[in-house]
């Protein structure tokens, strides 16, 4: 008869923790490198004569800085946590890697509807001296974009999911960190909801730099838009806290949030890409950039029945997940 107090046998994956932790730190460094390149580009454009820097959108630039900084901080934190064998790092990365992978699959599918027009636009831009556009240039760039998206949005999160969900990896984390962290005190689906709404709160704060807030076919700008983002962030943070506490009212709040979000998207995209164009214009996007976006087929994308069906499928899948996870939100606990 086996001794229940005997240590569980497992294969130590400390080397894997080191390699994956270093990879996550490298991702954080890549985000900082992007910040540096953006800063150099913005500085170069600012030195151009007036009128030649029309392609630069200050609001988008500031927002991009904020988001890349957040991504860098996240990957650094997860990388250090993985190197030190902290259980919270494994749990958070496993949950968010699943979200990353699922979202990446949907995003990649949508991207393939954009790539053909993007190829034509790039080929036309690359042509010189009024000569015919070279389709080979666009095809090469399209191939590079497809490979890059596959690596970043599918391969990388897939590797992280396979690594963190491994039983030997889990046992290695538990051996290095015997304590029960806050991430492991709720079921994984509940933690996923908590992290998603917590991330929404942070993103809403970062998005205040846009000062443009679309709502049911209308677009708020300036101070009203900033206030709307702050309210959205506060509500997201409140929902994240209540979801972690597994309050039944929080689940209903998440459901109402999802239904309102679906209705908002319906109203916003009722007229195809017109709402998206109005939002870009309100953000101060230069005319040349607006024209380039149109050539790439971004606006026409929302008139594509296949894309709309994919979005509806994703929304229904999210509602199905919410209905399934309701079992964890009971008054008796």
Q: What is the pLDDT of residue 280?
A: 79
Q: What is the DSSP letter of 303?
A: G
CA distances, 101 to each of 29, 38, 53, 98, 106 (Å)? 21, 27, 37, 5, 9
pTM strictly above 0.85? no
Domain that residue 203 falls in: 187-333
Q: Could you tell me if residue 88 is inside a domain?
A: no
Confirm whether 172 is domain-assigned. no
Please measure the distance between the N-terminal and C-terminal CA atoms of the chain and give it in whole angstroms: 35
Q: Is residue 305 part of a domain?
A: yes
**Secondary structure of residue 218 in the 3-state scheme:** strand
Phi-psi group of 190: left, alpha or beta (phi > 0 → left; psi -120 to 50 → alpha; rest → beta)? alpha
pLDDT number for residue 3? 47
Q: Report the pLDDT value the prediction gives residue 184, as an integer from 0 to 100.
A: 92
- Pick the closest to residue 17 from 230, 173, 229 (CA basis): 173
CA angle (39, 44, 49) in 5-degree steps:
140
**pLDDT of the residue at 46:** 56
In this prediction, residue 265 carries a pLDDT of 77
As a residue count, the chain comes to 333
Asked whether residue 39 is domain-assigned, the answer is no
DSSP per-residue string spanning 91-144: HHHHHHHHHHHHHHHHHHHHHHHHHHHHHHHHHHHH--TTPPP-HHHHHHHHHH
State which residues of the chain have pLDDT below 50: 1-6, 51-53, 128-129, 131
Q: Give the pLDDT confidence of 134-150 residue by residue, as tens digits.
A: 556 556 666 777 788 78
Q: How far apart are CA 94 and CA 169, in angstroms?
A: 11
How many domains does the chain contain in total?
1
Domain presence at residue 18: no
Nearest alpha-carbon partner for 326 in 248, 210, 260: 248
pLDDT at 43: 64
DSSP letters for 229-292: HHHHHHHHHHHHHHHHTT-HHHHHHHHHHHHHHHHHHHHHTTTTTHHHHHHHHHTT--HHHHHH
pLDDT value at residue 47: 57
Q: Is residue 267 part of a domain?
A: yes
Alpha helices in 127-215 (DSSP H): 135-150, 156-164, 167-176, 188-206
């Amino acid at each position: 008869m086996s001794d229940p107090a005997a240590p569980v046998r497992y294969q130590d994956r400390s080397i894997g923790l080191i390699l994956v932790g270093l990879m996550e730190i490298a991702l954080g460094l890549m985000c900082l490198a992007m910040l540096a390149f953006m800063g150099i580009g913005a500085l170069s454009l600012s030195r151009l004569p007036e009128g030649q820097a029309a392609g630069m959108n200050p609001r988008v630039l500031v927002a991009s800085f904020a988001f890349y900084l957040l991504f860098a901080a996240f990957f650094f934190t997860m990388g250090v946590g993985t190197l030190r064998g902290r259980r919270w790092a494994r749990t958070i990365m496993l949950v968010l890697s699943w979200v990353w992978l699922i979202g990446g699959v949907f995003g990649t599918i949508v991207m393939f509807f954009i790539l053909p027009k993007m190829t034509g636009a790039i080929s036309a831009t690359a042509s010189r001296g009024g000569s015919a556009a070279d389709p080979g240039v666009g095809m090469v760039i399209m191939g590079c974009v497809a490979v890059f998206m596959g690596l970043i949005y599918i391969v990388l999160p897939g590797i992280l999911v396979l690594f963190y969900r491994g039983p030997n990896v889990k046992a290695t984390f538990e051996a290095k960190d015997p304590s029960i962290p806050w991430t492991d005190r709720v079921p994984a689906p509940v933690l996923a909801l908590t992290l998603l709404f917590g991330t929404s709160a942070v993103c809403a704060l970062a998005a205040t730099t846009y000062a443009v807030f679309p709502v049911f076919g209308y677009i708020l700008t300036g101070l009203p838009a900033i206030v709307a983002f702050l309210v959205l962030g506060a509500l997201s943070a409140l929902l994240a806290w209540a979801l972690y506490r597994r309050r039944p009212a929080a689940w209903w709040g998440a459901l109402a949030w999802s239904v309102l979000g679906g209705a908002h998207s319906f109203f916003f995209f009722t007229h195809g890409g017109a709402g998206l164009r109005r939002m870009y214009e309100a953000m101060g996007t230069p005319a040349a950039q607006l024209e380039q976006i149109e050539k790439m087929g971004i606006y026409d994308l929302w008139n594509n029945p296949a894309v709309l069906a994919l979005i509806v499928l994703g929304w229904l899948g999210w509602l199905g997940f919410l209905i399934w996870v309701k079992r964890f939100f009971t008054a008796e606990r």
